[in-house]
Chain A
């Protein structure tokens, strides 16, 4: 009888133990899975927010570009055209009186030249067609030729068999423009040395100047603090190209941009 009680007790306790064990396993798995799902969802949400932020920045950049072009046209080309029109009207009157002077025509010619130059700048900002027509090396050259306040030295080494994807050329060109504009605005440089090397594996762009320069850490710090479009545009484009951007202050201020080409081709 005592033996029977012991067996009954072992059956009941065994069953109870199994019940509790299975229930615990199920509850623990459910709890962990819930945590995992929450973390995954948070991660997903963060990625979504980041994408939204990126999209917002793209739209903002687009709007700023449009504003810049509109400002270029409104502030520089429009007044010149109005003046030219006014001048032509005056001339028409004088033509009727038959008392036209040479200096008026020379002024108008100068004005027309300025308008053409401004239009050229505006269209280059809008879409650098020179890249599509003549390639990256000549586009950079074409941009550097127009810099008057700096002594510019440009060298390149190009593997002619390499055909750069348009996205690489365009983004690299935009990064280059932004970097040069930053040097012109903030560095107080007197001269500029630009070297670009295009090989089968990578594009290496080196910019040396005589300004104050900055280190990589300083650039990262500026970029983290900056809400401006310029630096963010550089960072976004560098990320897009899978490139590396390095800043050196010693021995001379230098910026090195390396774009891997195998990665770009695989994409």
Chain B
């Protein structure tokens, strides 16, 4: 929520990809850290049975993959539609995957 609000206000005053990349890096770091923490803490249950694993994986996958696109965001926006034509499906696939995994996590949480 905080990150979303931050992006919203940031976009109001122009494009600056640096904070976005840094925030994605931080998210990836915490994603890997949580994965490691889960690996160590789960003694007798599979980590895939925990809802947090799925939410964490979704965040990790989304932020890790879109980070590369974020680095070239200015370039993609400046160039013609051809660049967007090639990169957009990737972004779309990652978003769909993110939503699917996140849905599984939420479903496991409320079940």
Binding site for B on A (CB under 8 A): 4, 7-8, 11-12, 14-16, 18-19, 21-23, 25-26, 29-30, 32-34, 36-37, 40-41, 44
- A18 touches which of B48, B68, B86 (Cβ 8 Å): B68
Complex contacts, A37 vs chain B, CB 8 Å = 42-46
Answer yes or no: B90 CB below 8 A from chain A CBs. Answer: yes
- A19 touches which of B38, B42, B57, B61 (Cβ 8 Å): B61
A216 to B66, CA, bound (A): 68
Complex contacts, B38 vs chain A, CB 8 Å = 33
Question: Chain B 56-75 against A: per-residue CB contact (8 Å), 1 yes, 0 no?
Answer: 01001100111111001001
Complex contacts, B90 vs chain A, CB 8 Å = 12, 15-16
Q: Is B68 touching A11 in the complex (CB atoms < 8 A)?
A: yes
Complex contacts, A19 vs chain B, CB 8 Å = 61, 64-65, 94
A14 to B82, CA, bound (A): 18
A interface, over-half SS: helix
List the 3 closest A-B pairs by CB distance, nearest first: A14-B68, A22-B64, A15-B68
A69 to B87, CA, bound (A): 87
Known: A12-B86, A19-B94. A30 touches B47 (CB 8 A): yes
A19 to B91, CA, bound (A): 11
- A15 touches which of B45, B47, B65 (Cβ 8 Å): B65
Q: Is A33 touching B65 in the complex (CB atoms < 8 A)?
A: no
A238 to B76, CA, bound (A): 76
Answer yes or no: B96 CB below 8 A from chain A CBs. Answer: no
Complex contacts, B68 vs chain A, CB 8 Å = 11, 14-15, 18
Q: Is B60 touching A26 in the complex (CB atoms < 8 A)?
A: yes
- B61 touches which of A23, A41, A44 (Cβ 8 Å): A23
Known: A12-B90, A33-B39. A41 touches B44 (CB 8 A): yes
- B67 touches which of A18, A26, A33 (Cβ 8 Å): A18
Answer yes or no: B10 CB below 8 A from chain A CBs. Answer: no
Answer yes or no: B15 CB below 8 A from chain A CBs. Answer: no
Complex contacts, A15 vs chain B, CB 8 Å = 65-66, 68-69, 87, 90, 94
Answer yes or no: B111 CB below 8 A from chain A CBs. Answer: no
Complex contacts, A21 vs chain B, CB 8 Å = 64
A29 to B42, CA, bound (A): 12
List, sorted by A's number, 28 A–B pairs whose CB atoms are closer than 8 Å: A4-B82, A4-B83, A7-B83, A8-B82, A8-B83, A8-B86, A8-B87, A11-B68, A11-B72, A11-B76, A11-B86, A11-B87, A12-B87, A14-B68, A15-B68, A15-B69, A15-B90, A18-B64, A19-B65, A19-B94, A21-B64, A22-B60, A22-B61, A33-B39, A33-B42, A33-B47, A34-B46, A37-B44
